Amino acid sequence: MNHLPNTISIMRLLLVLPIALSLAEGAYLPGLVLFGLAGLSDGLDGYLARRYNWVSAFGKIIDPLADKMLLLVTTITMTLLGHFPPLVLFLMIAKDVAVIGGILVYSLLAGFPEMRPLLIGKSTTVLQLLLIGYLMITLVSSQPLVESWLTPLLMWAVVLVTIADGASYLWLWTMKLSRDPRWKQVSN
């Protein structure tokens, strides 16, 4: 049973391609349903892992990978179709590249860092999922379901939180590296 969160993450990863294909074919409702299932599965596997302490090294890799693939493939597809702003997509990718680059630099200088998700990182993922889900709902309904101010509000919230997220991780790891005795051994 302790592998259930990992299985859910793998299933979420397997939903990425059908979501992208649904969107590309203009089948927005099936894409939205699959995206909703993927989003709910993210919460479920996280809850199960925390509640029952079903944490594994594989789970620490597959869960964020499934999240990133879901977000990036869906936003890339929506951007290519003209339903998502390219600059917001670029920012999301740039943040992920910067964080991965930070991990690589830290690993080269002092060994692989102990990684714990920050609240702002989780908030970024939730906001990005909400924005994408909202935009998919507007595609299904052919019009915004609420006032037109919600779209720019969600966009700006994603932009600001994504920037703060990337900066937080880079700041945190820079501070950790400056105190890490392995770094001091390498630099001497």
* Cβ contact 169:95 at 8 Å: no
Asked whether the predicted pLDDT for residue 188 surpasses 90, the reply is: no
Please list, in sequence order, all residues whose beta carbon lies within 8 angstroms of the beta carbon of residue 83, skipping any fewer than 6 positions away: 23, 135, 139
Please list, in sequence order, all residues whose beta carbon lies within 8 angstroms of the beta carbon of residue 123, skipping any fewer than 6 positions away: 161, 165
Please list, in sequence order, all residues whose beta carbon lies within 8 angstroms of the beta carbon of residue 87, skipping any fewer than 6 positions away: none
pTM, 2 dp: 0.86
Q: Could you give the CA distance from residue 11 to residue 34 in angstroms, rounded to a whole number?
A: 11
Residue, of 3 and 63, whose pLDDT is higher: 63
The reported pLDDT for the residue numbered 185 is 62
* Cβ contact 113:103 at 8 Å: yes
The reported pLDDT for the residue numbered 175 is 85
**Average pLDDT of the residues in 165-187:** 79
* Cβ contact 117:93 at 8 Å: no
What domains can you pick out in the chain, each with its CATH number?
Answer: 4-187 (1.20.120.1760)
Roughly what angle, to the nearest 10 degrees, separates helices 57-80 and 119-141?
Answer: 40
Where do the H-state alpha helices sit in the chain?
4-24, 28-51, 57-80, 86-110, 119-141, 150-179, 181-187
**Average pLDDT of the residues in 118-147:** 87
The reported pLDDT for the residue numbered 167 is 93
Where do the H-state alpha helices sit in 81-149?
86-110, 119-141
Asked whether the predicted pLDDT for residue 151 surpasses 80, the reply is: yes
